[in-house]
Amino acid sequence: MEQKKTAYIASVDQKVFPKSIQPVYHLGHSIPNPNKKELPCHWDSIVYLFQNYDELIIIGNLLPNDRMLQGSLTHYTEMILSLFYEASICFHKDVFVCLNGQKTIPLHEIVKGKLPEIAKQLCDDGMTMSASQNTVMSVQKISVYNDLSASQWALQYFKWLKRFTVGLIEVKVSGENYPFCIKGFNNHPLLSLKKNNEFNLDEVAEIIIQGGFLNKERHLLTPAGRFWFVKRGDYLYTALVHFKPALPWLSYRLTQGWIHGVVMQRFSKWVTKQKSH
């Protein structure tokens, strides 16, 4: 019988491993480096792992090396584990989580009842991270009230944003393209987003942050920034990951970064309020 090809997923800062644990990939680098097996938090990165290996074993926390981390790191880890779970179903392959270098648990068992608990343990198991250059991660976990898909929730958010800003900011939805525009300046978007339509999953929507004058990566062919919407049971995870603001770092933290956190908190409260009605 042919031996299974196994890959290990470690935290961005884990460097030394026994010879028996190879190859090791580091998921969460805003700047990918294939030679060092450093991958960004993109759906393409996860697909690459499943296409090239028969099983995956997560041996470290899955936190990104973004400089600004906004929200619960446990919630972010829950979201990433959910992404691996959805991919495991698509590719019919196994994923395991190894805790403290000892106990190995199948991911499908974790997702069905122990997701918050295991995510917290992974976060607690080595929190040190080397921050990248001025990138942002912001995550929210929201209790949702209906069976909308992840993509439908993204559209709900875009509609809500216009109401919340009293029409000042509008997302001009055009197919898979979502430019964020100030009223009266439709040709000069603040941010230009596009859904990754190379896969179709009810539980996952990956939106690429392509352009806009608030995005420092607006001229790159392969920008790293992502805006995720991920469903898991009765919860919706939203996450801005690897976003590189065009504003000077201190200005971003005091303005756009703070505003984004407030806006997402208000969206979470709005969704929760709809659920109670």
Q: What pLDDT, in 10s, does the model give residues 126-157?
A: 555 667 779 999 999 999 987 899 999 999 99
Give dist(CA 49, CA 124) in Å, integer.
Answer: 25
- Tokens 């979201």 found at: 79
Verify that 89 and 189 share a domain, yes or no. no
Question: What's the confidence (pLDDT) of residue 179?
Answer: 95
Give the domain-ending residue among 124, 156, 176. Answer: 124
Burial class of residue 10 (count of CB atoms within 10 Å of its CB; 0-12, 13-18, 19+): buried
Segment 174-182 shows an average pLDDT of 94
Verify that 146 and 225 share a domain, yes or no. yes
**Which candidate, 62, 91, 96, places its Cα nearest to that of 79?**
62
Give residue 274's pLDDT band: very low, low, confident or very high (50, 70, 90).
Answer: confident
Give dist(CA 182, CA 178) in Å, integer.
Answer: 13
Give dist(CA 82, CA 213) in Å, integer.
Answer: 32
Is residue 269 one of the residues assigned to a domain? yes
| pLDDT at 277 > cutoff 90 | no
Question: What's the confidence (pLDDT) of residue 129?
Answer: 60
Verify that 223 and 259 share a domain, yes or no. yes
| pLDDT at 164 > cutoff 80 | yes
Give residue 110's pLDDT band: very low, low, confident or very high (50, 70, 90).
Answer: very high
Select, from the ranges 46-55, 98-107, 185-194, the one with the highest average predicted confidence (pLDDT). Answer: 46-55
Give the domain-ending residue among 81, 98, 124. Answer: 124
Are residues 153 and 229 in contact, defined by beta-carbon separation less than 8 angstroms? Answer: yes
Question: What's the confidence (pLDDT) of residue 181?
Answer: 95
Are residues 231 and 202 in contact, defined by beta-carbon separation less than 8 angstroms? Answer: yes
Verify that 163 and 85 share a domain, yes or no. no
| pLDDT at 260 > cutoff 60 | yes
Question: What's the confidence (pLDDT) of residue 182?
Answer: 93
Verify that 149 and 262 share a domain, yes or no. yes
Name, in order, each residue with C-beta under 8 angstroms of 174's C-beta and a sequence gap of 6 or more: none
Give dist(CA 51, CA 56) in Å, integer.
Answer: 11
Residue 124 token pair: 């607690």
Verify that 13 and 73 share a domain, yes or no. yes
Which of residues 236 and 3 earns the better pLDDT score? 236
Per the structure, the complete domain to which residue 229 belongs is given by: 136-276
**Which candidate, 95, 128, 68, 119, places its Cα nearest to that of 235?**
119
Question: What's the confidence (pLDDT) of residue 94?
Answer: 96
Q: Assign residue 189 the CATH number of its domain.
A: 3.30.530.20
**Which candidate, 120, 108, 54, places its Cα nearest to that of 84?**
108
Verify that 97 and 158 share a domain, yes or no. no
Is residue 193 one of the residues assigned to a domain? yes
Is residue 1 one of the residues assigned to a domain? no
Evaluate if pTM is beyond 0.85.
yes
Verify that 212 and 267 share a domain, yes or no. yes
Is residue 207 one of the residues assigned to a domain? yes
Question: What's the confidence (pLDDT) of residue 88?
Answer: 97
Question: What's the confidence (pLDDT) of residue 1?
Answer: 56
Verify that 104 and 63 share a domain, yes or no. yes
Share of the chain above pLDDT 70, in %: 94
Q: How many domains in the chain?
A: 2
Question: What's the confidence (pLDDT) of residue 152?
Answer: 96
Question: What's the confidence (pLDDT) of residue 22?
Answer: 84
Verify that 116 and 233 share a domain, yes or no. no
Amino acid at 125: D
Question: What's the confidence (pLDDT) of residue 228?
Answer: 98
Verify that 63 and 165 share a domain, yes or no. no
Is residue 131 one of the residues assigned to a domain? no
Is residue 130 one of the residues assigned to a domain? no
Question: What's the confidence (pLDDT) of residue 14?
Answer: 76
Verify that 80 and 101 share a domain, yes or no. yes
Is residue 81 one of the residues assigned to a domain? yes
Give the domain-ending residue among 95, 124, 153. Answer: 124
| pLDDT mean across residues, the chain | 91
pLDDT tens, residue by residue, 18-67? 777 789 999 999 888 888 899 999 999 999 999 999 999 999 888 999 99
Q: Which residues of 120-130 are buried (b: 16+ CB within 10 A; e: fewer)?
A: bbbbeeeeebe
Question: What's the confidence (pLDDT) of residue 235?
Answer: 95
Are residues 117 and 81 in contact, defined by beta-carbon separation less than 8 angstroms? Answer: no
Range name among 2-6, 199-203, 263-267 with the lowest pLDDT average: 2-6
Give dist(CA 260, CA 55) in Å, integer.
Answer: 37
